[in-house]
Chain A
Amino acid sequence: MATFGAGGATTSYEEFEHTDLIICWGSNTQECHPIIYNHMRRGMKNGAKMVVVDPRKIDQVRRADKWLPINVGTDIYLANAMANVIISEGLHNKEFIERATENFEAYREKVAGYTPEYAEQITGIPAEDIREVARMYAKSDKAILNWTLGITEHHNGADGVFALINLGLLTGHVGKYGSGLNPLRGQNNVQGGGDMGALPNRMVGGWQWDDPEAHRLFEEVWGVPLPEKVGKNQAEMLDAIERGELRCMYVIGENPCQSDADEHRSDRLFESLDFLVVQDLFLTKTARMADVVLPAASSWSETDGTFVNSERRVQRVRKVVEPPGEARDDIMILRDIANRMGANWNFETAEEVWDEVRALAPNFSGISYERLEKYGGIQWPCLDGSFEEISDNTPKEQLAAGARGAEESGSAALTTDVVEKPQIGTKFLHAQLWEKEVKKRAPFTPVDHEGPVEMPDEEYPFQLTTGRRLAFHNTGTMTQSYKKVKDPEELLEICAEDAQALGIEDGEFARVSSRRGTVPRVKARVTDRVRPGLVFLGYSFADQVPTNVLTINAVDPKSGTAELKACAVKIEKA
């Protein structure tokens, strides 16, 4: 997501094993990030407490010390109420707030109205439980707060992230080993995509669009001036297609006609394009609408290159096998089109492309392919220089790399900052907040609660929330071919009480409709994972169960992300 795009998880995975409290907020870590969860599990063995904030009774709840079964889309209310408790009981870290943050007074005023009693009515969580978790967080010596799409896939997802960052600043749980704020990335290279500037408002290296120095630097390296205007995000591009302004799309490795909210609208828009090029491994639904389909190599096994993971570690992917038939490496396809249009891209290897990145992005400048071979993955930022230099980057140098952007935007409190340096690369971010002289204070960003755009009503009485399940991935193009796996089909999770009222038994089929579309047949799984009024669908069997015909295209203007986590549906026996 754009707001945190040039930021990243502040901690390393190993810190889960050396902390006192782990909060998973809107993150089904055990199913969606199983190996990160293993680090957490070892942390729990070492004595860390686990708190889960999730509307569903996910498996992870069983081992948690505390579960807050929050109403969908009321996370900001809960976060503000926790802050209310922490401040009114005097548990906030006054010394840290004084020396390392700004805008605290505005935040204090904002959360003053968010009492635990009001919060109980909105979030569904008993006031006493809110107090208990607030105290746990504030009183822990070290604590790590994690979130994923349960926070960001709302029409106000960016505000949700700020609400959580505020809690970290309030308690000083950031910038120290074992304490931090972590957005866990859903895809293998979401972190890298943002870091590389595949965003409308940010360039590789964390440069903000309107930074004159960025324009100078990129013109020097690219040989042409940068466009003046900031670009459109995904949602804005779809709107521009609808207005007839945007007439041609080049879609690389995405399946927007199945993964985006309100699938019927996406179909219509993509069909209306003058020219659509899709580059992918499979003939996806989007590819079937294309004018030209280009067969690509699989990034993790058929090409050379790098990914960045959820602890900011740059790692080498290697060409293990040849791509099938005439399929080609993505970067070579791009090069060959660019050159046909008059460019002079003359690289032959991924390493040459990466070296161009290093020239533009100080955070990555020290991470050469050679060093990646030698040290394994390296966590950014890592400046260039001798080993002595790169293992002793001063805060000042590192700030020059990325914090400039944060200053100018005035909002993204935690982009790329500073560091402890046990080895090469950077284990955790924002250590400078604890230094004698804080060079750049982190601002509180007060935010208000706003519920989901579409709430259940008489006609559509159920709330639908969506997500991913352990063995399956996204639109399923990669995971439908397992040999043997539990539940290899989509399931509608519904509680016994609701299922009974509808006359649907476990294993029978249901028909699910929203104002936007209908899933005619999906198997019901009667379970206590969901409470009355709430149902859950995955989206990994999109050809059989097109979950995203139901979801709502209510987009957060700050992040371009749609509210995939909440819409209203009705359910009938199929």
Chain B
Amino acid sequence: MATAAREEEALLNGSREVNTICGFCGVGCGLTVKVEDGIIQKVTGEKDNPSSHGEACIKGREGWRHIYSDKRLTYPLIRKNGELVRASWDEALDLVANRFMQIKSEYGSDAFGVFSSSRSTNELNYLAGKFARTIFGNSNIDSCNRA
């Protein structure tokens, strides 16, 4: 684990290129992301991608700056006395799990719903379905088409 962490850190420093997939529309263009010192410098179309062959539109090439927006959420928030205030992960996750269990025992499985994201990965969408069906105990899950 320690070795893996060190390797990861080494990877995150210096200049490198990583291939990933665009996060905007459903075309799914391959992107090559140039990273220096752990920060994205430039995004171009990935030449060998079998769907897009190196092409990418303005959203893919320029739209990445949103991940560095100062409006990104960087810590959990919980509502106290009507206000959203900073909380630790443990505090936030404990609260979520406890309230979910409380509501389930009070109102049963039908009291829950999940909106999953067509922006996120297959892995997340699969787990969100599993969460609804095995943890909440219903099948109230949908992923919306234009958030």
Q: In the complex, what residues of B have CB within 8 A of residue A470's CB?
A: 57-58
Residue from B48, B135, B143 within 8 A of A199 (CB atoms): B143
Chain B min CB distance to A191 (Å): 6
Given A283-B71, A283-B73, A321-B38, answer yes or no on A305-B28 (Cβ-Cβ < 8 Å): no
Question: Which residues 277-310 of A sit at the B interface, judged by CB distance below 8 A?
Answer: 277, 280-283, 287-288, 290-296, 298-303, 305-310
Residues of A within 8 A of B68 (CB): 324
Q: Is A457 an interface residue (CB 8 A)?
A: no
Residue A247 CB within 8 A of the other chain: yes
For residue B113, which residue of chain A has the nearest CB? A237
Q: Which residues of A contact B129 (CB under 8 A)?
A: 196-199, 203-204
Residues of A within 8 A of B87 (CB): 292
Residues from chain A with Cβ under 8 Å of B49 in the complex: 315, 376-377
Task: Kindly state the interface size class of chain A when it binds its partner.
Answer: 35 or more
- Contact partner of B112 (CB less than 8 A), chosen from A198, A246, A481, A539, is A246
In the complex, what distance in Å separates the CA atom of A188 from the CA atom of B95?
A: 32
- In the complex, the answer to whether A335 meets B142 with C-beta atoms within 8 Å is no
Residue of B nearest to A249 (CB): B113
A residues in contact with B113, CB < 8 Å: 232, 237, 240-241, 246, 248-250
> How far is A149 from B144 in the complex, measured between Cα atoms in Å?
12
Contacts of A287 in B (CB 8 A): 73
Interface residue from B115, B121, B125 paired with A234 (Cβ < 8 Å): B115
What mask results when residues 67 to 93 of chain B are scored 1 for a CB within 8 Å of chain A, else 0? 111011111111100001001010011
Give the distance in Å from the alpha carbon of A437 to the alpha carbon of B132 in the complex. Answer: 41
Contact of A350 among B20, B24, B121, B145 (CB under 8 A): B121
B51 close to A (CB within 8 Å): yes
**A280:B73 contact, CB within 8 angstroms:** yes
Given contacts A222-B130, A326-B76, A343-B135, contact A192 B122 (CB under 8 A): yes
- Checking A252, A320, A321, A345 against B120 with a beta-carbon cut-off of 8 angstroms, the contacting residue is A252
Question: In the complex, which residues of chain A have a beta carbon less than 8 angstroms from the beta carbon of B112?
Answer: 246-250
In whole Å, how far is A399's beta carbon from the nearest beta carbon of chain B? Answer: 23
Beta-carbon contact of A337 and B117 below 8 Å: no
Smallest beta-carbon distance A428→chain B, Å: 14
From A99-107, A123-131, A179-187, the one touching the partner chain is A179-187
Task: Verify if A268 is at the interface (C-beta below 8 Å from B).
Answer: no
Q: Give Cα A292–Cα B99 distance, bound, in whole angstroms.
A: 11
Interface with B: A32-40, A47-55, A489-497, which one?
Answer: A32-40
Chain B residues within an 8 Å CB radius of A248: 99-100, 103, 111-113
Smallest CB–CB gap between B40 and chain A, Å? 6
Q: Is A64 an interface residue (CB 8 A)?
A: no
| Most chain B C-beta atoms within 10 Å of own C-beta, residue among A34, A189, A473, A479 | A189
How many angstroms between the C-alpha atoms of A252 and B132 in the bound complex?
12
Query: In the complex, A539 Cα to B144 Cα: how many Å?
Result: 15
In the assembly, what is the distance between CA of A343 and CA of B136, in Å? 11
A195 to B129, CA, bound (A): 11
Check A227–B138 contact: CB distance below 8 A: yes
B21 adjacent to A307 (CB under 8 Å): yes
With A and B bound together, what is the CA distance between A218 and B123 in angstroms?
Answer: 16
Cβ–Cβ contact B28 & A310, under 8 A = yes
Contact A309 to B51, CB < 8 A, known contacts A186-B25, A294-B76 = yes
Nearest opposing residue in chain A for B74, CB measure: A325
- For residue A317, which residues in chain B have a CB less than 8 angstroms away from its CB? 20-21, 23, 121
The residue on B at minimum CB distance from A5 is B143
Task: Give the residues from 125 to 147 in chain B that come closer than 8 angstroms, CB to CB, to chain A.
Answer: 125-135, 137-147
How many chain B residues touch A (CB < 8 A): the figure is 99
The answer to whether A204 and B26 touch (CB under 8 A), given A193-B143, A326-B75, A561-B145, is no
B139 engages A209 (CB within 8 Å) = yes
Interface pair A353/B24, CB less than 8 Å apart: no
The interface residues of chain B lying within 8 Å CB-to-CB of A501 are none
Q: Determine if B26 and A191 form an interchain contact, defined as CB atoms under 8 angstroms apart.
A: yes
Chain B's nearest CB lies how many Å from the CB of A186? 6
B124 in the interface (beta carbon within 8 A)? yes
A230 to B140, CA, bound (A): 8
> For the complex, what is the distance from the CA of A478 to the CA of B24, rounded to whole Å?
9
User: Could you say which of A73-81, A255-263, A506-514 contacts chain B?
Assistant: A255-263
Q: In the complex, are the beta carbons of A247 and B107 less than 8 A apart?
A: yes
A117 to B76, CA, bound (A): 61
Given contacts A252-B115, A299-B23, A301-B40, whether A350 and B123 have CB atoms under 8 Å apart is yes
Q: Give the Cβ gap from A227 to chain B, nearest Cβ, in Å.
A: 5
Complex Cα distance, B125 from A256, in Å, reads: 17
In whole Å, how far is B124's beta carbon from the nearest beta carbon of chain A? 4
Is A356 interfacial (CB-CB < 8 Å)? yes
Report A's interface with B, CB cutoff 8 A. 1, 13, 32-36, 38, 149, 152-153, 184-201, 203-204, 209, 218, 222-224, 226-227, 229-234, 237, 240-241, 245-256, 258-260, 274-275, 277, 280-283, 287-288, 290-296, 298-303, 305-311, 313-318, 320-322, 324-328, 330-331, 333-338, 340-341, 343, 345, 350, 353-354, 356-357, 376-377, 470-471, 473-475, 477-483, 485, 539, 560-561, 564
Cross-chain pairs A/B with CB under 8 angstroms, 15 sampled: A227-B137, A229-B138, A234-B115, A252-B128, A281-B66, A293-B84, A300-B22, A308-B28, A317-B23, A320-B33, A343-B135, A350-B121, A470-B58, A471-B58, A473-B59
B-side interface residues toward A, CB under 8 Å?
12, 18-31, 33, 35, 38-40, 48-52, 55-59, 62-69, 71-79, 84, 87, 89, 92-97, 99-101, 103, 107, 109-135, 137-147
